[in-house]
Amino acid sequence: MRLEDATVFVTGAGAGIGEATARRCAEEGATVIVTDVNEETASETADAIEDAGGRAVSHTLDVTDGERFHDLVTATAEEYGLDGIVNNAGTGHPPAYTEDLDAGVLEFVLDVNVRGVWHGCRAALPVMKEQGHGAIVNVASLAAILGLPRQAVYSLTKGAVLNFTRAVAAEAGPTGVRANAVCPGFIDTDLGRQYFESRDDPETARARMEAQYPLKRLGEADEIADVALFLLSEESSYVTGHGLVVDGGYSVS
């Protein structure tokens, strides 16, 4: 068991990468604190973990609410301990040229993608520093590395997540706390499928996307969960401040 007796806090765990990460952590022995803005999906993830023999507790959490985030992380640490946190919750925006994106889109995506990760780290760091260990995994994106056309705000926020992760790693390393980011390419989740469904010809749009990847397919949520698990575990004990790109070769094609 790679996370035996550990406690891992996961945001956006009601679906997609967050749900897959919560499951994998539980399979490897962790007690998982499953959080999502959607109470129903958070509960479904936790129930599925427990039905499979794992340990999970679900909570509703809007990551833009810093006070709620802090209180929930503090309560988790007091009751279960806190060995890892995965700041996965995020959002995007429909494809658009930069000049066509209004301030409302900017504020909303910043609030979730940047402030949400900020709140999670600020809540977890005091606990982890005091105990002298802990692993933070922030979910960024390939957009943090390359910048994606017609995804300016999304790219801006994910770039911020990556560099913030590096800053946290530099600050917290001397106390025994590690911080890393995962930078996925296009992953075959409900959110990803919504993108294709927004196109005039979803099947053609998907085929064109897949053709851009050397592996000729989209990534699976479980593949990102496995990377997050590695970064949470002692297998990555000398890895910190790193943005691990998981993109099927897109960035080198």
Token pair for residue 139? 């979910």
Rg of the Cα atoms in the chain? 17
Cα dist. 202→33, 57, 139, 209 in Å?
Answer: 35, 37, 26, 11
Burial 90-101 (b: 16+ CB within 10 A, else e): bbbbeeeeeeeb
> What letter represents residue 185's amino acid?
G
Cα 173 from Cα 162, distance rounded (Å): 16
- Residue 252 in tokens: 């080198």
200 Cβ partners below 8 Å, 6+ apart? none
Distance from C-alpha of 148 to C-alpha of 2, rounded to nearest angstrom: 35
Q: What residues contact residue 52 under an 8 Å CB cut-off, 6+ apart?
A: 23, 26, 27
Q: CA 72, CA 63: separation in Å to the nearest integer? A: 11
Instruction: Tell me, yes or no, if 213 is annotated catalytic.
Output: no
Question: Which of 80, 154, 213, 250 is the catalytic position?
Answer: 154
Q: Which residues are catalytic?
A: 154
